Structure 1
Amino acid sequence: MGKCSALMIFLSSSLLLVLQTLHVVNAVKCFGNSFNGNSSTFAQNRQKLFPTLADKVIINDGFYNASLGQDPDKVYALVSCARGYDQDACYNCVQSLTQNTLTDCRSRRDSFIWGGNDDVTCLVRSSNQSTFGSVQLKPPVVWPSPDTIESSKNITLFKQQWEEMVNRTLEAATKAEGSSVLKYYKAEKAGFTEFPDVYMLMQCTPDLSSRDCKQCLGDCVMYFRKDYMGRKGGMASLPSCYFRWDLYSFHNAFDNVTRVPAPPPRPHAQEKESCITVKKGKSIGYGGIIAIVVVFTFINLLVFIGFIKVYARRGKLNNVGSAEYSDSDGQFMLRFDLGMIVMATDDFSSENTLGQGGFGTVYKGTFPNGQEVAVKRLTKGSGQGDMEFKNEVSLLTRLQHKNLVKLLGFCNEGDEEILVYEFVPNSSLDHFIFDEDKRSLLTWEVRFRIIEGIARGLLYLHEDSQLKIIHRDLKASNILLDAEMNPKVADFGTARLFDSDETRAETKRIAGTRGYMAPEYLNHGQISAKSDVYSFGVMLLEMISGERNNSFEGEGLAAFAWKRWVEGKPEIIIDPFLIENPRNEIIKLIQIGLLCVQENSTKRPTMSSVIIWLGSETIIIPLPKAPAFTWIRSQSESGAMSLSDDVFTELSCR
């Protein structure tokens, strides 16, 4: 095994930047006067008003303006969904953004957030002063793509065509179409000379005048152009308008948009003079022939030199351990050289072992530049085949969220299949919550933050990401904890990719861990987001009790908790370490956990509802029904089937 080259070190250290994708769903901007947290009258008014907005914006055709309370604590809210929105997508988008605001702007009176996914772009804006009908031009939020346009491109030509597209989109977006509440909106698709497709979207709130809308969008373009011209896409938004462009279709609105072709190249006078023209019936003179031969020879010489350099560098990389980019379905991933991984893990030394899973061992690795990583080496012949390996690689490279583990790259040389993740120093949640000594480190505040973070990660998978993902194996051992004990959902080898309009599917093979599987999934192979909600409910009850699911009188934690709930003694399941903490708040989470494990999947809440309940002290939470089923004792004790933590795999990458 050779040593790593300087190029490999550079690529490894800059890996996170390369794999990052533009994600603008959760960019909440909090500003204005402050107030004293959730106990203030303003906060209470906002908590009452926000849960009503998602329903109201649907009833009012995609735009709704509301207020609640008395001055100076009166809350004004404005909500909007873009033209052509799907009602369910609009509802979920507004629900998510209102919760983000409640969570991230706990002490600021003014806020705005633009977000959404392929189906919808929506806005949630709030203040203690009415902003209806007046353009709001501060503060800006700008998110550039991390990738820059290659230096080989004609930047001057790109800027010229980009500005032409901006002007065209701006003019179309600011034309008021009657009294429609969904005016001031335009999606544009164009071809550039050096980029086959460029996508651009502009939108204003419909309460503005056409002049105000044009000013607002012009400012958005200015903010982006000033600092980030030359990036491969980006977003700029203000409280009154939104601008985004990219080199891929980020919204379904582009499906029905006619592409504007690239304009023909504009030849310069010098180029015209140097052109060689061949007229019919005439032969080329000796001077023309000599010129062609010289140019052709020169070009071939340059190509030959280029090939020599490429092969020389490739040979050098192969000798010392290489890292190269691999493009799969348009997504950039880093392919690690096996020699580099062997060196980083000290030949997979047992001293570097972080954990043992159902399909392989996880090792700690350190690259020559000091970057620490977690290396998952899949067990040969484990049953987790090529499809599962490709599933995790293809999904995680397109998912970016603070509560999801980051996949840095992979290696599939020979019969080795290896995944390289960010290193998370505090291992997995099960090492804390089920350990008598370490569990005391999980204070109520820490446990609540972990529960809320897991919920946010699931909400992103189910509703907010460009992909719709069902995890299918959510449990404490698949939740990693970073240095600040923030949770990161991990292990997507058995995750299921859904179409954007798909809500439920069926499979003949089961993937996941018994005890955490929803009954409709375990018994009938029915998969939906509510399958993950069930698993989340089991895990939430484990977090409160500090005990494993199978530790309660042989019947399962959900059944045990339900019996105590019916008896009016839910506090019996609370971890003794939490006895002195707020009892009512803990019991509220027991109630949420029981709602998540109800037998009827349609009665289980969505993760957006769970997050709203977690963040509210005033919303009335429904009463739960009986859980799905009770735990069955192992075969050695009762003769029945054992519902142990055995893992079964099945992949469907749609």
Structure 2
Amino acid sequence: MMLAGYGILAVVLVLLPPSATPAGIADCDLGVGNTYVGNSTFEANLNHLAAELPGNVSTAHTGGFAVATVGADPDQVFALALCRGDVNATACRACVAAAFVDGKNACPGINGVTVYEDACVVRFSGQRFMDFLSPDQWQVTEMIWVPEQASESVNAPAVGWFNAAIAKILAALVDHAVATATGNNSTTKKYFATGEEDFDPNIYGFAQCVPDLTQEQCKECLNTFLFQAKQVYFGKSLSWVGMNSVWCRLMYSVRPFYGGRAMLQLSAPPPPAAEAPVLSLEPGAGKKKSAAGIAAVVASSVVVLLILSFFAVVLFRRRSKVTETDHQLRKITRAQCLIFDLPALQEATDNFSDNNKLGEGGYGIVYKGVLSDGQEVAVKKLLGTSEHGLDQLQNEVLLLAELQHKNLVKLQGFCLHQGETLLVYEYVKNGSLDNFLFDTSRGNTPNWEQLYNIIFGIAKGILYLHEDSSLRIIHRDLKSNNILLGEDMEPKIADFGLARLLEEGHTNTRTTRIVGTL
């Protein structure tokens, strides 16, 4: 899957039992028109691809990657297969063949399926998903990805040290995989890297991109996963974590899972600084140990100052120039968007009590809350916090924090706490427009003047998004329950989780997937 159309239900099914490496999973696109019937022309074309592609992808000249198309519109089937760079031809062919079988079994009658096996990725669809790689379509923030993680933790010497080791090997893998695009070694697979790090326990990893990506696209894809890994999984000591998309994969494990010698051999990062020694009062040893203690303190202070200086330089550079590879969450600090802690929001909402529930949708539950200073807020607790919640958080925070208009709901801040992902909005007293339009039991149907003002306010908000704001934004999920009504029935457009940002000067764009609400 490639575009973030979360209004279309995507179901992820685990196909294989847990192991030292990730289990195979199938990602099913359950959208409008994403089905086919048995014994149809589409199924015949799919079966033809399932028979031909495993042999094509495993030939010497393909390097473990192939795309194919069979049939004619409207029964065309498009497919992609990519084997992990260390897998031989026989294993590659077997993996791709198994992926087709697993995908059809896990998602029967669905014409858009991505299967992530241990040694390969297979995607088949009735849509031209490769168009997503064209320069006018590629938006890494719309890339759908499926995370996997171990259920067990590692008995590491220190969680912080283990996380530093993970960060080191993943960053090195990203850099090396991207660099293979310009290498002259014919035996090196494009956009593929494996690594081994000397730690206790040893850490193994791999990074890979689809060869059809540009070097910049591969870099953006893998760096997105690297950032997500730091945000979601650090603070833990999981034995393995994998992040998968059609376009790239990034993984580490404390057990070897690829063949051959690792392309990168890394040393462990230095351990955390030890505590300064306690000064002894034993006769004859005081001066020596005092001098040693003072030297340790001085050395530690110098190290701390160097670290602080480094971060100060980095912070200054980030403030002075935002690079294109900045992840969206890094831009929040420039937008005056508050960061709330989870206990404060739990207290404000009476621990997310049902009595404070304002509504529930496909992406989260909204609660009324009262902050310690008496300010009323609406707290949206996102569902699917692995990839869906974090993607929506990024989109919503980046867009709303930069937008100021009376007909757009105001974002007060956000909270990202382990598995919890929450957005904090201004509290809008009268709820959503659909309650007034369709809930006849309320007995408060708006009159024509109120309806006219609501229509006019929505139009002004959309005009601001399309033409007058510094960012050109397409909402993509405008509906009555995403219009909130203030005390004077002033409309406010809400829920920007599916919004799409267009580049400056663009007046049109194309997409291969429908998004929004059915």
TM-score by length of 2: 0.45
Q: Tell me: higher relative CO, structure 1 or 2? Use CA pairs within 8 A at least 6 residues apart.
A: 2
CA radius of gyration, larger in: 1
